[in-house]
Amino acid sequence: MAPVARAGVAHIWFESIHPYEDGNGRIGRAISEKLLAQGLPTPAVTTMAGTLLLHRKAYYSALELAHADLTITAWLLWFAAKAIEAQRRTLQQVEFVLAKTRMLDRLRHQLNDRQEKALLRLFEAGPGGFVGGLSAGDYMRITGAPPATTTRDLGALVANGALIRSGELKSTRYRLDIGVEEVAPVEVSEIL
C-alpha cells in the first residue's frame, strides 16, 4: 500500500476505534506522521499534524463523513491532498529558516537592539508574518520606541532590505522581505 494511503487508513481506523477519552486526534495525527515518514527511503519531517489543524473544520467534516458513510475513498483523497500541502509547508518552513539566517547574517552589525527585537518577533510569527502586516503601533509595542524613533527605525529596515512597506499613513504596514512564497491549500481536484 502507498505510504499516504497507509497513513490515511491508519488514521481513520484509529479515530474510528477512538480508544481514549481524550487525545485521540493528537495520537491519530502522530500515527499519520509516523507512517508517512516510514514510507520514505530517508528520514523526513512533515507538518502533517499542523496542516490538518489548519483545516480543522474540514478535517473534522472529512472524518465525520467517513464514519457516517463507511467508505473511506473520499477521506483518503482529502488526506492525500493535505499530505501534499503538508510537504509544501515543510519545504516552506525550511526556506523560511534559511532566509532568516541569510537576512540576519547580512544585517549583522547594522541593526540596533530595537530593530533586531522587532525582526526576531516578525520571524517568530512565521512565514506569513503578522496578520495584516506590522504597523508602527506594533513596532512601538514590541520595542517601546517613541513615534519618531519608530519611523526612523522602520525606514532603515526598509532601506536595508529587511522589510517591504505597503500602504500609506495609518494603513502603512511592513512585511519581511524574504521571498518565501505562501502555501496555498491543496484541493482534492488538484490530485485527481
pLDDT, one tens digit per residue, over 151-187 is: 999 999 999 999 999 999 999 999 999 989 889 999 9
Q: Is residue 142 part of a domain?
A: yes
- Same domain for 122 and 71: no
Whether residue 155 sits in one domain with residue 88: no
Q: Are residues 11 and 79 in the same domain?
A: yes
Q: Are residues 70 and 135 in the same domain?
A: no
Same domain? For 111 and 88 the reply is no
Domain co-membership, 88 together with 144: no
Question: Could you give the CA distance from residue 37 to residue 35 in angstroms, rounded to a whole number?
Answer: 5
Q: What is the pLDDT of residue 168?
A: 95
Do 59 and 25 touch, CB atoms closer than 8 A?
Answer: no
- Please say if the pLDDT value at position 32 is more than 90: yes
Is 57 a domain residue? yes
Q: Of 56-60, 67-71, 142-146, where does mean pLDDT reach its minimum?
A: 67-71
Dist. CA 108–CA 102, nearest whole Å: 10
User: Is the predicted pLDDT of residue 64 greater than 80, yes or no?
Assistant: yes
- Residue 82 shares a structural domain with residue 121: no
Establish if 186 belongs to a structural domain: no
Averaged pLDDT for residues 44-61: 92
Let me know whether 9 and 85 are in one domain.
Answer: yes
* CATH for 133: 1.10.10.10
Residue 131, domain member (yes or no): yes
Give the domain range for residue 10. 3-92
What is the DSSP-derived secondary structure letter of residue 107?
Answer: T
Query: What pLDDT is stored for residue 53 in this prediction?
Result: 94
Rounded-to-integer distance, Cα 32 and Cα 107, Å: 40
Same domain, 72 and 111: no
- Is residue 9 a contact partner of residue 72, using CB atoms and an 8 Å limit? yes
Average pLDDT over residues 34-48: 87
Q: What is the pTM of this model?
A: 0.84
pLDDT, averaged across the chain: 94
In a domain, 124, yes or no: yes
What is the amino acid identity at position 171? S
Predicted confidence (pLDDT) per residue in 67-119, tens digit: 888 889 999 999 999 999 999 999 999 999 999 999 999 999 999 999 999 99
Q: Same domain for 83 and 24?
A: yes
Q: How confident is the model at residue 148 (pLDDT cuts 50, 70, 90)?
A: very high
Contact (CB, 8 A) for 69 and 56: no
The predicted structure's pLDDT at residue 46? 85
Helix (H) or strand (E) holding 159: helix 147-159
In the chain, how many domains are there?
A: 2
**pLDDT-derived band of residue 128, with 50, 70 and 90 as boundaries?**
confident
Cα–Cα–Cα angle for 184, 190, 192, rounded to 5 degrees: 155
Does any domain span residue 133? yes
Whether the predicted pLDDT of 43 surpasses 80: no
The answer to whether residue 10 sits within a structural domain is yes
Q: Residue 76: inside a domain, yes or no?
A: yes
